[in-house]
Amino acid sequence: MKMKSHTRREFIKATALAAAGVSFAGPLVSRIRAAEPDRKIGFALAGLGNLSTHQLAPALQKTKYCRLTGIVTGHPAKAERWKAQYHIPDKNVYNYDNMVTMADNPDIDVVYVVTPNALHGEHSIKAAKAGKHVLCEKPMEVSVEKCQQIIDACKRAGRQLAIGYRLHFEPNNLECVRLAREKVFGDLRMVEAGFGYAIGDPTQWRLKRDLAGGGPLMDVGIYALQAARYLSGEEPVLVSAIETKTDPVKFKEVEETITWQMKFPGGMVAHCDTTYAFNGLNHFTGHAPGGWFRLDPAFSYHGLHGQRSDKLEINLPDLDQFAAEMDDFAQCLLNHRPTRVPGEEGLRDVKIMMAIYEAARTGKTVSLA
């Protein structure tokens, strides 16, 4: 049986995901908004790789409140292709060295940082210094210190910072948050969550510690961690972990597979897994005394669906998660409200992932309390 439909707004309202924070919507946007009420927020994509090419640029065409006005790239040939495809004028094309000169370009309000993980700090801070709002991809950075530097730079510049947590805008995930928050099956006692895939090209940056910061945990395990956090509505206080490696050549610099457990203050436990060794791991289940709910697939771009122990299906209509995420950020800027996915949310995940690595390395339970 298909579940009765709820509006997206109801799901968003039902969640307690909205994080605390101050609105940093800048005076530039508000002045322009007053003068031109129909003006869309101008986005520049920094890093024109897979995500930007196949998801973000197409998603920007579907947004209501955003438009693609600029690019930052180190490849002149790529810039030519993007300029032609998206009608981007020369004056809105930057490289990583000159992006601070965006300061005098009113076409660009937001820089969306989509470069390898360990470059997010450098590029986000340059964008903030240019007076731009920052949307930074996950994982926010590869250390807690670097995350804090991004937060500080955006605060200093008086600009808002959001992290690209697209599932905070996805109806099926939000429905599961509602089931948890409204205790439809009682208090959650356990979450099981896993996300992984078989990684290809052994030369790619995702397998290099200095650019990726870690392996599948930083890349996709972060979604399982997020699920445990947004379903519990709490922060973990204890972490334990085990790592295993079957291909020490390919995974010389990063983990291949890692499994971890987390204890939450209300008594819930989470069991999570991530891997670069095989496909098919893409799910979460919430268990409570009165029943369970599950999404599988839980973290893909499309086709998310699931079941409940009372035989109802969870199968809400797809939306473009990236368009929803960018439109929400644009509305935050236009309406002077804080994002529900602020830098502090990205920092919390990085802090927990560092504890997971420490637990795996030492074989000891790590306290986060």
Which residue, 25 or 68, has its beta carbon nearer to ligand NAD? 68
Contacts of 229 (CB under 8 A, 6+ apart): 235, 236, 348, 349
Question: Residue 220 gets which letter from DSSP?
Answer: I
According to DSSP, residue 257 is labeled E
Q: How far is the CB of 358 from ligand NAD (least distance, A)?
A: 22
Interaction residues for ligand NAD, span 150-169 (CB under 6 A): 164, 166
* Contact criterion met (CB below 8 Å) for 242 and 222: no
What pairing do the DSSP bridges indicate for beta strands 238-244 and 190-196?
unpaired
Site for ligand NAD in 195-254 (CB under 6 A): 205, 211, 219
Asked if residues 121 and 146 have their Cβ atoms less than 8 Å apart, the reply is yes
Our CB check for ligand NAD shows the closer of 75 and 183 to be 75
**Residue 259 three-state SS:** strand
| Range 64-83, binding ligand NAD (CB under 6 A) | 74
CB of 188 to ligand NAD, least distance (A): 25
Residue 250 burial (C-beta neighbours within 10 Å; 0-12, 13-18, 19+): middle
Catalytic status, residue 138: yes
Catalytic residue among 94, 112, 165, 223: 223
Does 192 interact with ligand NAD (rule: CB under 6 A)?
no
CA distance 354 to 366: 10
Cis peptide before 297 (omega within 30 of 0): yes
- In the complex with ligand NAD, which residue's Cβ is closer, 51 or 238? 51
Q: Does 119 sit near ligand NAD (CB under 6 A)? A: yes
Nearest to 190 by CA among 240, 138, 227: 227
Contact between 116 and ligand NAD (CB under 6 A)?
Answer: yes
Q: Are 44 and 92 in contact (CB under 8 A)?
A: yes
Does 137 engage in binding with ligand NAD (CB under 6 A)?
yes
Q: Please, which residue, 48 or 272, has the CB nearer to ligand NAD? A: 48
Cα 69 to Cα 63: distance, rounded to the nearest angstrom: 13
Of these, 50, 61, 101, 367, which contacts ligand NAD (CB under 6 A)? 50
Comparing CB distances to ligand NAD, the nearer of 179 and 330 is 330
Tell me: does residue 106 bind ligand NAD (CB under 6 A): no
CA dist 79 and 95 (Å) reads 9
**Residue 89 interacting with ligand NAD (CB under 6 A):** no
Selected from 17, 99, 114, 193, the binder of ligand NAD by CB under 6 A is 114
Q: Which residues are catalytic?
A: 138, 223
Q: Which residues bind ligand NAD (CB under 6 A)?
A: 47-51, 74, 114-117, 119, 137-138, 164, 166, 205, 211, 219
